[in-house]
Amino acid sequence: MAHHVTRREFVKRGGGLLVGFSLIDGSVAPRLLASTPRDSQAAEDPSAPPDSPSRLDAWLRVDPDGLVHVFTGKVEIGMGVETAFAQIIAEELDVPVSHVRFVMGDTAQTPDQGGVGGSTSVSNGAKPLRNVAASARAMLLQAAAPQLGADPAQLEVRDGIIINPAHPATRVSYGAVAGRADLHEILQVTGAGFSLNVEGAGTPKDPSTYRVVGTSVPRVDIAPKVLGTFRYVTDVRVPGMLHGRVIRPPATGAHLVRVNDEPARRIQGYVRTVVKHDFVGVLADTEWGAIKASQAVDLTWSEPAANLPSHDSLYTWMRQATPKASRQTLPHGPSTSAGAGDVESALSLASSRVEASYEFPFQSHATMGPGCAVADVREGQATIWSGAQKPHALRKGIAELIDMPIEHVRIVWVEDSGSYGRPGFEDAAADAVLLSQAAGRPVRVQWMRADMTAWGAKGPAVVCDLAAALDEHREVTAVRFTSRAFSGGEILYQPSTGDNFLAARLTGVPNTSSVDEFVSWGGQTPAYAFPNVQSIAHVVASLYDGPSPLRTSHLRDPEGPAASFAVESFIDEVAAASGVDPIALRLKWIKEPRAQAVLQAAAEKAGWQSRPSPAGHARNSAGDVLKGRGVALGTRNGTYVGTIAEVDVNRRTGALRVTRFVCAHDCGLIVNPGALTRTIQANLVQSLSRAVHEEVAFDDRTVTSVDWRTYPIARMADVPPTVDIVLINHPELPPGGAGEPSSRPTAAAIANAVFDATGVRMRRAPLTAARVKAALA
């Protein structure tokens, strides 16, 4: 099994000059072993615990050959954050991007930065890295100064070489001085998790001088992936490893009555079946043996009463359910307007009203790789290789799950397929842990497709009811927003509790760590400054309290696409009712200049003609295909997105085709425009998929969306021929989040375009051909 060595032991054995917290097993991070002995004094320094983020060398070290190793609790989930970080480090240190190497998310070597979530990796997570690099630079210059006969302030750095500009021949490399630099300087630590920050002696550069940040450096991970040399977590192989498969109950509430593994025993390589309450897994020497055994083992389950409402009645059920929790924002409005703050009377006094309800279904993470983990739980120690995007939280959760001191649990993060929140990679890790614990051997669990699509965590279903009051000039005087949603925190999105995991629920552990997450106006939606606004948010209890395939958690931008679908469709309805252009109405009521700017930039790129919707083709056109255009705005923690969709709607079949997207995007300072453009394009396609195709189906017993046939997503034919991205750069602002915001406006932009084309309003997502056809009939 992986041997745990303290940092100090490692150093004594001739470890690196500047090392992360502790060791590392060579198979995972062999490059770390390549460093030369360091002066052991520094390592013995008792003033700071070796794993303290207050130590510079906990974050960064420089090899004698000039390679810069950076240790971060953030991880790559497929959007290029490793490259953005490399650019930021390279910028501060003046080293080539190719000299920066990362250890990400290994809990034995990296500080707890909360992992990945909320599009914060660059906006928050890069801050300590930038400061650490600036401080390392300051320390290295200080160490080089006597030798170069100059003040540190006079020295320059080019490609990792420190130069005295007065005597350009006088130079020394970072690698050569690194041994003399005091890189275990004490940093000042503030915050924790996502907001963990450190500051030291160095001052980061003025962004106006950036040369690497802001350029389209190729992503460091793409070439190795395309060349087939990249290792995902699915490729981790540990000596003596068994293959595991898990078997889920056939219905919510079904309990295991009898296990007969006799048929499995005939399968080559079969080792055993592990049963713990309703958790069942099989183990075999080979992966195929495990798959066959999981099909062969004869399980008898109880037949519980139907526990779920029928899929058809979901939204009725949500509206009728007594909310589990509610939150109201006080009605507010500028004190000068008549009736300010009184939404009810504004609505009752209105000369006309617009009222509409919108529905957004459960959606599945349905990750490309269904989830995989390797666990080695033996002799009071646990090592887990997992692609879960919050490794430090996972460490806490696993420790609690198996009641092991947290110091004995180590998560080695290794990239899995694209992860957009809390997909279930966490649950696969817990499965592997329980199976390894039972077997006393390392176990690799690879989820099958149905484990992920049907049993992975779900994005919550959301219904929103909106009402607007219009005065006699058809001006909006008040808006009321009411949401009802399952909580995106029903399974805590931090897998930091033992009850978080599906395996825990199946072994009978109740879920006590869920949190209520509210869907509110201005929270997951733009905050239009109408004279009176009231936002009422209800959380409804989960459909089934036991282990359920409809457990909800974070899926890319929790509730953002659902709530923005409602509000941005509604704004369009108000514009249509007022007879004004939908961009003009938004520009009037959204006050943030950057939100206005993305709408204007998108309009300009799209050649938007100012006019109200609908276009009126439905009456005038003889053909089957109607064309329309729609717009929507997305705002999220200081990032602004304006999306325009152009669609063709076939009024005979209901099929809709997005022919063009224009997306104007402002996330502050842009670190890598090329990578950002690709991430936005991909987010547009993924959110199109969610808008048009994706809906988790279920019957009254369980989820029936189990694979790519029963949970269809966008394919090549859905991809718009034209996707125009307009990037708005703000070098004077800090870099903001870019992973999620562009998933917000897409569904409404498409639905608004359908309205523009047909005059028919689609208020239920996804906008499948059958639904559009029915609406047009």
Partner 1 sequence: MSRFSLTVNGQSHTVDADPDCPLLYVLRDTLALNNPRFGCGLGQCGACTVIVDHHAVRSCRIPVSSAAGRPIGTLDGLGTPEHPHPIQQAFIDEQAFQCGYCLNGWVMTAKALLDGNPHPSEEEIRRAFQGLICRCGSHVGILAAVRRASGHQA
Task: Choose between 454 and 539: whose C-beta lies nearer to partner 1.
Answer: 454
Task: Choose between 20 and 78: whose C-beta lies nearer to ligand FES.
Answer: 78
Q: Is 215 in the site for partner 1 (CB under 8 A)?
A: no
Q: How far apart are CA 641 and CA 662, in angstroms?
A: 10
Instruction: State which of residues 268, 310, 313, 352 lies at the interface with partner 1 (CB under 8 A).
Output: 268
Give least dist CB 291 to ligand FES, A.
12
Taking Cα atoms as reference points, which of 54, 43, 50 lies closest to residue 16? 43
Q: Give pairs for 659-662: CB < 8 Å, separation 24+.
A: 659/627, 659/720, 659/721, 659/722, 660/606, 660/720, 660/721, 660/722, 660/723, 660/724, 661/688, 661/720, 661/722, 661/723, 661/724, 661/746, 661/749, 662/602, 662/605, 662/606, 662/724, 662/726
Strand-pairing partners, residue 725, are 663
Taking Cα atoms as reference points, which of 172, 114, 186 lies closest to residue 144? 172
Task: Choose between 175 and 560: whose C-beta lies nearer to partner 1.
Answer: 560
- Is there a contact between 200 and 60 (Cβ–Cβ < 8 Å)? no
- Is there a contact between 459 and 558 (Cβ–Cβ < 8 Å)? yes
Token pair of 225 as six digits: 């992936």
Binding mask 638-667 for partner 1 (x = CB under 8 A): ------------------------------
Binders of partner 1 among residues 609 to 628 (CB under 8 A) are none
492 contacts: CB under 8 Å, gap ≥ 6: 500, 513, 514, 515, 553
Q: How far apart are CA 390 and CA 395, in angstroms?
A: 9
Task: Choose between 113 and 417: whose C-beta lies nearer to ligand FES.
Answer: 417
Give least dist CB 627 to partner 1, A.
20
Task: Choose between 221 and 592: whose C-beta lies nearer to partner 1.
Answer: 221
Task: Choose between 80 and 253: whose C-beta lies nearer to ligand FES.
Answer: 80
Task: Choose between 21 and 420: whose C-beta lies nearer to partner 1.
Answer: 420
Q: Is 668 in the site for ligand FES (CB under 6 A)?
A: no
Instruction: State which of residues 237, 474, 591, 652 lies at the interface with partner 1 (CB under 8 A).
Output: 237
Instruction: State which of residues 158, 192, 715, 770 lies at the interface with partner 1 (CB under 8 A).
Output: 715
Query: Binding segment for partner 1 among 35-43, 542-550, 701-709, 730-738 (CB under 8 A)?
Result: 701-709
Give least dist CB 449 to ligand FES, A.
8
Query: Binding segment for partner 1 among 29-37, 151-159, 255-263, 680-688 (CB under 8 A)?
Result: 680-688
- Is there a contact between 488 and 523 (Cβ–Cβ < 8 Å)? no
120 contacts: CB under 8 Å, gap ≥ 6: 114, 194, 737
Query: Binding segment for partner 1 among 25-33, 417-425, 484-492, 766-774 (CB under 8 A)?
Result: 417-425
Residue 518: left if φ>0, alpha if ψ -120 to 50, beta else—which one? beta
Q: Residue 228's binding partner, choosing from ligand FES, partner 1, none, with beta-carbon cut-off 5 to 8 A by kind?
A: partner 1
Binders of partner 1 among residues 287 to 306 (CB under 8 A) are 287-288, 291-292
- Is there a contact between 297 and 270 (Cβ–Cβ < 8 Å)? no
Q: Is 416 in the site for partner 1 (CB under 8 A)?
A: yes
Give least dist CB 239 to ligand FES, A.
26
Binders of ligand FES among residues 418 to 447 (CB under 6 A) are 418
Binders of partner 1 among residues 316 to 375 (CB under 8 A) are 366-370
Number of residues in contact with ligand FES under rule CB under 6 A: 4
Q: Is 443 in the site for partner 1 (CB under 8 A)?
A: no
Give least dist CB 225 to ligand FES, A.
9
Instruction: State which of residues 7, 130, 184, 219 lies at the interface with partner 1 (CB under 8 A).
Output: 219
Task: Choose between 157 and 675: whose C-beta lies nearer to ligand FES.
Answer: 675
Q: Is 115 in the site for ligand FES (CB under 6 A)?
A: no
Give least dist CB 417 to ligand FES, A.
6
Nearest 5°: the CA angle 15, 18, 21 is: 80
Task: Choose between 496 and 679: whose C-beta lies nearer to ligand FES.
Answer: 679
Nearest 5°: phi and psi at 369? -90, 135
How far are the Cα atoms of 156, 675, 767 from residue 202, in angstroms, in the given order?
14, 29, 53
Nearest 5°: the CA angle 331, 332, 338 is: 105
Give least dist CB 555 to ligand FES, A.
15
Binding mask 722-751 for partner 1 (x = CB under 8 A): -x----------------------------
CA atoms within 13 A on the CB side of 531: 20
Give least dist CB 418 to ligand FES, A.
4
Task: Choose between 220 and 463: whose C-beta lies nearer to ligand FES.
Answer: 220
Q: How far apart are CA 509 and CA 502, in angstroms?
A: 9
Task: Choose between 169 and 716: whose C-beta lies nearer to partner 1.
Answer: 716
Q: How far apart are CA 2 and CA 514, in angstroms?
A: 33
Instruction: State which of residues 257, 368, 406, 770 lies at the interface with ligand FES (CB under 6 A).
Output: 368
Binding mask 271-290 for partner 1 (x = CB under 8 A): ---------------xxx--
Q: How far apart are CA 90 and CA 199, in angstroms?
A: 18
Q: Is 239 in the site for partner 1 (CB under 8 A)?
A: no
In residues, how long is the chain? 777
Number of residues in contact with partner 1 under rule CB under 8 A: 65
Instruction: State which of residues 405, 717, 732, 777 lies at the interface with partner 1 (CB under 8 A).
Output: 717
Instruction: State which of residues 719, 727, 769, 775 lies at the interface with partner 1 (CB under 8 A).
Output: 719
Task: Choose between 98 and 268: whose C-beta lies nearer to partner 1.
Answer: 268
Residue 158: CB atoms within 10 Å: 11
Q: State the Cα torsion 189-195-200-206 to the nearest 10°.
A: -160
496 contacts: CB under 8 Å, gap ≥ 6: 390, 393, 394, 396, 397
Query: Binding segment for partner 1 among 117-125, 165-173, 442-450, 617-625 (CB under 8 A)?
Result: 442-450
Residue environment code for 752-777, b if the CB has 16+ CB neighbours within 10 A, otherwise e = bbbbbbbbbbbbbbbbbeebbbebbe
Q: Is 719 in the site for ligand FES (CB under 6 A)?
A: no
Instruction: State which of residues 15, 20, 78, 628 lies at the interface with ligand FES (CB under 6 A).
Output: 78
Q: How far apart are CA 69 and CA 362, in angstroms?
A: 42
SS3 167: coil
Q: Look up residue 453 and give its amino acid.
A: T
How far apart are the two ends of the chain, measured CA to CA in Å? 65
Task: Choose between 577 and 682: whose C-beta lies nearer to ligand FES.
Answer: 682
Task: Choose between 64 and 418: whose C-beta lies nearer to ligand FES.
Answer: 418
Q: How far apart are CA 364 and CA 759, in angstroms?
A: 31
- The runs of H, that is alpha helices, within 359-474 are 391-401, 425-439, 449-453
Interface contacts to ligand FES, rule CB under 6 A: 78, 368, 417-418
Interface contacts to partner 1, rule CB under 8 A: 77-80, 218-219, 221-232, 234-235, 237, 243, 268, 286-288, 291-292, 366-370, 415-419, 446, 448-449, 674-675, 678-679, 681-689, 707-709, 713-717, 719, 721, 723
